[in-house]
């Protein structure tokens, strides 16, 4: 393998030498042999470097490499072709004429330049270490197990449907008044044991109970305007005997049997 690389390098060097020789011969009448050799070497190396960057470069590097390749390579092609076309020889008759026909002169002038560029790229490829087949430069992907997500079943939110309610409350004259209730129902209250009412822990005085008893909204009446003893005891939170005394004092004691009818306070769902 090494001798192949050495052979390629030798052939490339020969093609570069031919290119440099043609350029020096073309510009030596104006610049001299020394400066002509410097200019030819600059053009040759610029062409080789630009060719490799055009193939392997990225972005703006490739753009500038194309500019150098067009300029330097064009100068090499032009000078070598010009030298081949203007080269004259003296024949046996002593007359000067073109050394080669025009097609042959163009091939001789441009051929070494193209060959040197191709060989330089081939040498660059052979110098680059080859990767084994199947080898990737990308970083290996580490497989990670997905984190289990515990799903909590959530049922549909229960939205209570509130309907209008009508409360029938008897007034003092026995006429029941409808009071509609709409909107959001009040928050549930804590249960209060029967017999304690909604009052404070300290027992109420008779004046306080009589004040409560005077409101039909708090202590509902029957159709005849009286209040059964048991209903009064329940609403006032006192004993039956005390409720009977208060009803008699207020003039609300029923004269008939003491029955607490269920139809005095109605809640009707609409």
- pLDDT tens for residues 32-64? 888 888 988 888 888 778 877 877 778 888 899
**Which pLDDT does position 92 carry in this prediction?**
66
Residue 243 lies in a domain: yes
**Which pLDDT does position 264 carry in this prediction?**
46
- Does this model's pTM top 0.85? My answer is no
**Which pLDDT does position 40 carry in this prediction?**
84
DSSP state of 171: -
Domain count, the chain: 2
Do both 119 and 23 map to the same domain? yes
d(CA 23, CA 26): 5
Longest Cα–Cα distance in the chain: 169
Do both 113 and 170 map to the same domain? no
Nearest to 169 by CA among 123, 221, 205: 221
3-state helix, strand, coil in the chain (%, to 5): 50, 10, 40
Residue 226, domain extent:
165-184+195-269
**Which pLDDT does position 263 carry in this prediction?**
40
Which residues in the chain land under pLDDT 50? 136, 162, 164-166, 190, 192, 263-270
Residue 18 lies in a domain: yes
Do both 41 and 112 map to the same domain? yes
Do both 6 and 84 map to the same domain? yes
The domain boundary residue, chosen from 79, 112, 127:
127
Tokens 């076309």 locate to 85
Show the beta-strand stretches assigned E in 51-183.
88-90, 96-98, 165-170, 176-181
**Which pLDDT does position 133 carry in this prediction?**
54
**Which pLDDT does position 162 carry in this prediction?**
46
């Amino acid at each position: 393998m090494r001798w192949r690389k050495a052979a390629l390098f030798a052939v490339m060097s020969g093609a570069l030498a031919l290119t440099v020789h043609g350029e020096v011969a073309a510009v030596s009448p104006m610049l001299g042999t020394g400066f002509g050799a410097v200019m030819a070497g600059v053009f040759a190396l610029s062409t080789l470097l630009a060719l490799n960057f055009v193939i392997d470069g990225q972005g703006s590097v490739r753009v500038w490499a194309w500019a150098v390749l067009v300029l330097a390579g064009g100068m090499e092609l032009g000078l070598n072709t010009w030298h081949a076309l203007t080269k004259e020889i003296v024949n046996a008759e002593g007359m000067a004429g073109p050394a080669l026909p025009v097609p042959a002169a163009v091939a001789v002038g441009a051929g070494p330049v193209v060959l040197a560029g191709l060989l330089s790229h081939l040498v660059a490829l052979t110098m680059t270490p080859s990767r084994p087949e199947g080898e990737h430069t990308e970083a290996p992907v580490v497989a990670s197990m997905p984190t289990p997500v515990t799903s909590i079943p959530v049922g549909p939110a229960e939205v209570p449907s509130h309907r209008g309610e009508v409360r029938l409350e008897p007034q003092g004259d026995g006429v029941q008044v409808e009071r509609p209730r709409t909107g959001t129902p009040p928050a549930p209250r804590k249960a209060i044991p029967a017999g304690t009412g909604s009052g404070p822990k300290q027992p109420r005085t008779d004046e306080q109970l009589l004040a409560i008893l005077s409101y039909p909204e708090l202590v509902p009446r029957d159709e005849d305007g009286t209040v059964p003893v048991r209903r009064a005891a329940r609403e006032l939170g006192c004993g039956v005997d005390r409720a009977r005394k208060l009803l008699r004092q207020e003039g609300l004691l029923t004269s008939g049997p003491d029955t607490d009818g269920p139809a005095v306070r109605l809640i009707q769902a609409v």
